[in-house]
């Protein structure tokens, strides 16, 4: 996890209509670091908080369905929690809905975090853009991602063309005898690759036959 001093300050890059409320789209994922407060753990990143509150669990009634949590502490260590620390609240803080662009591209799901009303109001007022309808923003970020991938593939094609041209220039620079030997080596390599693939398919077919009852 990046050191908190190297993280970019949190800012709002979009606001999305979420049921009857608004969800904040942040410029980066939250990187919570925790402090122990009594038996509880309080995580923070900028104005956002998370609370893992201790309450003894037993049997099937355990926190996070028995999943072990590994949390980053402010002193640079990590702490493992299991069964008895539940997601809780903090007095004076409210649940807000938030995510970030890269996380939404991978999975279009928002989550919650705690924020005090004053800090939330300051964050919200810092964004002067439009409020996107829920599904429209999903289409927007996926369309933007599609264009980025297209440009990336175009770059790869250009690099491939340049490599082919360089190989062609290399062959042209060889004398006829060297050129012929190089072409023979390339042809043998291609034939060997085809033989290897055919042999692998044959062995796989034989193995499936032997395995059949």
The stretch 12-31 carries a mean pLDDT of 94
State whether 32 and 69 are in the same domain: yes
Percent of the chain with pLDDT over 90: 55
Does some domain include residue 19? yes
Answer whether 95's CB lies under 8 Å from 112's CB.
Answer: yes
Domain hosting residue 159, numbered range:
136-173
State whether 82 and 140 are in the same domain: no
Answer whether 32's CB lies under 8 Å from 71's CB.
Answer: yes
State whether 168 and 180 are in the same domain: no
CA distance 163 to 167: 6
Tell me, yes or no, if the pTM score tops 0.85.
no
Percent of the chain with pLDDT over 70: 77
State whether 87 and 167 are in the same domain: no
Does some domain include residue 1? no
Does some domain include residue 38? yes
Q: What's the number of domains the chain is made of?
A: 3
pLDDT of 199 higher than 90: no
């Amino acid at each position: 996890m990046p050191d908190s001093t190297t993280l970019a300050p949190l800012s709002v890059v979009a606001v999305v209509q979420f049921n009857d409320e608004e969800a904040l789209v942040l410029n980066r994922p939250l990187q919570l670091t925790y402090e122990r407060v009594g038996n509880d753990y309080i995580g923070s990143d900028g104005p956002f908080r998370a609370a893992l509150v201790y309450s003894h669990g037993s049997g099937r009634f355990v926190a996070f369905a028995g999943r072990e949590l590994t949390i980053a502490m402010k002193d640079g260590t990590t702490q493992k929690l299991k069964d008895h620390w539940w997601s809780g609240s903090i007095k004076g803080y409210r649940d807000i809905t938030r995510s970030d662009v890269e996380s939404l591209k991978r999975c279009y799901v928002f989550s919650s975090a705690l924020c005090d009303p004053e800090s939330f109001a300051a964050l919200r007022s810092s964004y002067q853009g439009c409020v996107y309808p829920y599904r429209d923003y999903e289409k927007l970020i996926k369309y933007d991602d599609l264009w980025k991938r297209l440009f990336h593939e175009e770059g790869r094609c250009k690099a491939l063309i340049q490599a082919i041209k360089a190989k062609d220039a290399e062959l042209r620079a060889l004398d006829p005898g060297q050129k012929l030997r190089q072409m023979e080596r390339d042809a043998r390599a291609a034939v060997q690759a085809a033989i290897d693939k055919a042999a692998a398919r044959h062995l796989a077919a034989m193995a499936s036959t032997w395995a059949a009852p």
